[in-house]
Amino acid sequence: MQNLKIYNTLTRQKEEFKPLSPPYVGMYVCGPTVYNYVHLGNVRTFLTFDVLFRYLTHIDYKVRYVRNITDVGHLVGDGDEGEDKIGKMAKLEKLEPMEIVQRYTNDFHKVLEQFNFLPPSIEPTATGHLVEQIEAVKTLINKGLAYESNGSVYFDINQYNKEGNDYGKLSGRILEDLLNETRELDGQSEKRNPLDFAIWKNASPEHIMQWKSPWGMGFPGWHLECSCMSTKYLGKQFDIHGGGMDLKFPHHECEIAQGVGITGVEPVRYWMHSNMLTVNGQKMSKSLGNSFLPAELFAGSHPLLDQAYSPMTVRFFMLQSQYRSTLDFSNDALRAAQKGYRRLINGLRIVKTLTMDINDKPVERIPKELIDDTKELNGINSLVQNYENLNVAISPVIKIAIDEKKKADIEKTVQAFYEAMNDDLNTAVAIAQLFNLLKYVNMIYMNQLDPRALGEDTFNLLQEKFVVFMEQILGIKEEPLAQGDGILSGMLSLYKEYKSSQRYDKVDEIRNYFKSNGMTIKDMKHRIDWAWEE
């Protein structure tokens, strides 16, 4: 297995990843609250953990990936007061809350499928785990870490800290500062401490989503839901908990307190958080009018967009930044990403077609005096010429010299890809290594490099790893052709026929057709092919 290091938000440093029970890994990621369409901030977070899931699997870990659906308890403003987000949307649209949940869960799944995300191992819902949440509340009350007040139950932060714990350690918040921030807020009177957070909330009669409990009709606290679902499927302590940076406080901070309070142990070994999105240097938000949905990106329908961008272009764009860095959306950046994505996809199409004549294996070395050292040996013709100049009898089978420099560079680049991924999923550096491999793919394709000059093992390494890095680890795939491969092959055949019969008007028609669909015809000496226009 690779020596993976990940940045642990809790310790504020990169740490070597050592799972509790190798090769098994437990990973929990906070899923969406399904009251509206999934936004791009969500997508970036889930992309981070999709890549982590893929990479851990690739390096032979057995991963149980749990990502929940929040379908109750998340209040407007993310605090303990106000309406339930789903309930509020249900009232606005005059629908049952579970209709809202189903509609936006379907949208969530559809968007993630468009971005080529792998499904999690388990996708639990908050409403499906009410029994576990009520039992957790009872446990915290019995341990003196929670108290009932007017039908609601709150976690007692002062008592938690008196027992030697440190509420605020994940986010770096100081209790005194937090108290100053919350002292003026309304709705705090039933709490012993303004910072205490609800683990069960009393429901007013008009609250749509409510259930029976020992404390009256109510609903679970948002923070408690994730604690109960993660421990149910991953145990009281597990390896990785992920989410967006906006969840560090209070959500994940509260999860730590609940976990320690219920089980007596730290619930998570490695906390990971993805960074925020900006648009032209400004924070993405609805109020600024610079927030756009994935569907608007794909259609190019938002006023800030110059054109449409495909799901794989956006995925590639996001992967060009390491997940802990801020990611800025702009038309210039997206167009550059489109060009880069198409270059790599052209390479992916090519690399799957490359072959090497293994019956004529290259020799390890040709005597130096037989090779003209003023030019690079690229193929049979160059070698033949060198032999003829020296009046050396030529064997019927020409042996190709191993190009040790290129061979070593490919092997080094493959290793550099792994080193980048092992360095806290540095996909930006990993993608740079892909472009280095692409250089050799194109050289072989253009007949500038005989694949036998790499040796069979290195050629196979280049071909295999390029596909694996792209499709399996980064999840970047070729998007389906509207025309279908058969139609394009037929048009290329017509192109050859028209060209040989000098019907150049028809040749131009076919070229224009390809161009109008974002493609170009590659008219080479040894073949005619098509590629995505870069």
* 228 among annotated binding-site residues: no
CB within 8 A of 117, min separation 6: which ones?
46, 47, 50, 475
The torsion angle over the Cα atoms of residues 330, 336, 337 and 343, rounded to 10 degrees, is 170
Delimit the domains of the chain by residue range. Answer: 5-274, 350-473, 485-532
Average pLDDT by stretches of 10, the chain with 534 residues: 93 98 98 93 95 98 98 84 89 94 97 98 97 98 97 96 95 79 57 94 90 96 96 98 96 97 97 94 79 92 93 97 95 96 95 80 41 42 44 52 96 98 98 98 94 95 98 94 72 80 82 81 80 82
pLDDT at 375: 42
Instruction: Please give the pLDDT value at position 162.
Output: 95
- Residue 254 among known ligand-binding residues: no
In this structure, what are the phi and psi dihedrals at residue 527, rounded to the nearest 5 degrees?
A: -170, 165
What span, in angstroms and rounded, lies between the C-alpha atoms of 346 and 294? 24
String of b and e for 503-513 (b: at least 16 CB within 10 Å)? eeeebeebbee
What pLDDT, on a 0 to 100 scale, did the predictor assign at position 520? 87
CATH classification code of 5-274: 3.40.50.620
The secondary element (H helix, E strand) that includes residue 497 is: helix 485-500
pLDDT in tens, 452-509: 999 999 999 999 999 999 999 999 999 877 666 677 778 888 888 877 888 888 778 8
Residue 129 is labelled as binding a ligand: no
- Can you give the pLDDT at residue 395? 43
The answer, yes or no, to whether the previous bond of 367 is cis (omega within 30 of 0) is no
Reported as a single tens digit per residue, the pLDDT across 47-71 is 999 999 999 999 999 999 999 999 9
C-alpha torsion angle, residues 1, 434, 351, 500 (rounded to 10): 180
251 appears as a binding residue in the annotation:
yes
Residue 399, annotated ligand binder?
A: no
CA distances from 272 to 48, 217, 245 (A): 10, 35, 9
Q: Which residues contact 169 (CB under 8 A, 6 or more apart)?
A: 10, 253, 256
